[in-house]
Amino acid sequence: MNAGSERRWQAARLAALFLVLVQCASLGLLEEGHLFATIMGGIACLSLVRRFQIEPQQAPHWMWFAALALIQAVKHRVAPEEINEQITFFNTVAAYEAARFLIFLQSVQLFVRRPGGRIPTWVAGIACLSMVLASNVRLNSETRPLCMALSLTFVGGLAIFAALNRRRATSGGDPIGRWLAGGALGLVLLAATGITHAFQRLEGKLERWLSEQAMFDRGDDATSGFSGRGQIGDITRWKNRDADRVALRVHSEQTPGYLRGMVFDDLRGRLWADTAEVRRLGEYRSRRLPASHNNERIYRLHPHAYEAHVSEPMEFWPETRTGDRLFLPMEAAFLSAAADAIVVNGHGLVIRTGAGDGAPYTAMLDTSPDERPLSDEDRRRYLVVNPHLQPQLEPFLEEIFGNAETSLEKTERLTGFFRQ
């Protein structure tokens, strides 16, 4: 291999490593799965050194990631529930993402192997599919289409790169081939943009078709996964099947008040209407808690809550304080529950499980002078309802609330709806 080919080869490997790190960041692994990201990055960096260059037939990536996936699956089964919720590395979802990311990483290695090597068609297909899948994990609706278009373009560029390598190996290369490659890459970019735009336009129809095919038998939402928009489908069919997974936030003009509009949250962690993910509440410990809370846990409802000893009880859902599902005002700072209860929060919806079911609980408003009120920006973000969901929400609103006007009437009807 001459010096020019060696430089191009190393440049291709550096570009591949950069794309690997970009994809890793888009997967959220650099922020949450530090151990996984470190191992993955170490393998990729070693592959840049000639002595440790990884050959496709050896495929050590498969062994590394298979071991990681096995460890994650075992830890998820044997570790306490609190650890599984708080540490991403123990979550089986991370193992699933690792498997998809492995396909992408191995495909890049195969694509940028030494000049002259022939790239099988099936490898190109796997790389294309894995790039699209990898680019659609943990991305919001604004960045996901862009990442998808760039991923498709990158795959096309790798294919052109492999074709040029074969051309140089057989004919020594010629300048016309480079110009043609540049034009082909431009056409690939246009095609990728068109495909992404078509997926966005057809996504709603595709989601509805998938929902009809799934018939909600799995109790899960059927989405295409291309641009991240939520599809709630036929809501009325969820009334009896999946009511325990739906959070309705009702309207109030008073402060503190319930969230305006209707927001639907999947309690398994997906986002439907720009709301934050469901998260486990952090237990709040203090030696200065009120005496009435000695046998209870005090849970912090939002990160800006300060001292529980300067809080006061709130009135919410009168005469309904013993259920396992609670809709809290946005300004609630703390929740007091039985010591053996497990509490999960979804920005306005609290679900309580465990032996503490049926015991009373109390929500408290922080009266500390250092308490920061909920900002207008946060309030708007929590209250937003996507316009494309509104036509599906109107008949459901009418079915539940009818002519109810006050917050108390709405919450009572909502409670009755969930008890059906």
pLDDT (tens digit per residue) in 237-252: 333 333 333 344 444 3
- Integer-rounded Cα Rg, in Å, for the chain is 26
pLDDT in tens, 174-217: 555 667 767 777 787 788 777 777 766 665 565 555 444 443 33
* More confident call, 187 vs 101: 187
Q: Residue 186 has which token pair?
A: 């431009």
Of the spans 74-83, 114-123, 337-346, 379-388, which averages the highest pLDDT?
337-346
Phi, psi of 20 (to 5 degrees): -60, -45
What's the whole-model pTM score?
0.31
Q: Residue 358 has which token pair?
A: 């049926």
If we measure between CA atoms, which residue out of 65, 128, 147 comes closest to residue 98?
65
Give the residue extent of every domain in the chain: 3-211, 241-419
**Percent residues over pLDDT 90 in the chain:** 0
* C-alpha to C-alpha distance for 39 and 219, rounded to whole angstroms: 36
Of the spans 119-128, 176-185, 246-255, 358-367, which averages the highest pLDDT?
176-185
**Which residues are registered as beta bridge partners of 333?**
none
Q: Is the pLDDT of residue 403 over 60?
A: yes
Residue 243 CB neighbours (<10 A): 14
Q: What is the pLDDT of residue 131?
A: 47
Q: What is the pLDDT of residue 279?
A: 39
- What DSSP string runs through 148-192? HHHHHHHHHHHHHHHHHHHHHHHH---HHHHHHHHHHHHHHHHHH
Q: What is the mean pLDDT of residues 403-411?
A: 66
Q: Is the pLDDT of residue 170 over 60?
A: yes
* 54 DSSP 8-state letter: P
What is the number of alpha carbons within 13 Å of residue 220 lying toward its C-beta?
Answer: 8
* C-alpha to C-alpha distance for 1 and 7, rounded to whole angstroms: 10
Confidence of residue 45 (pLDDT cuts 50, 70, 90): low
The verdict on whether omega for the bond into residue 256 sits within 30 degrees of 0, i.e. cis, is: yes
Q: What rounded mean pLDDT belongs to the chain? A: 52
Of the spans 106-120, 201-215, 252-266, 406-420, which averages the highest pLDDT?
406-420
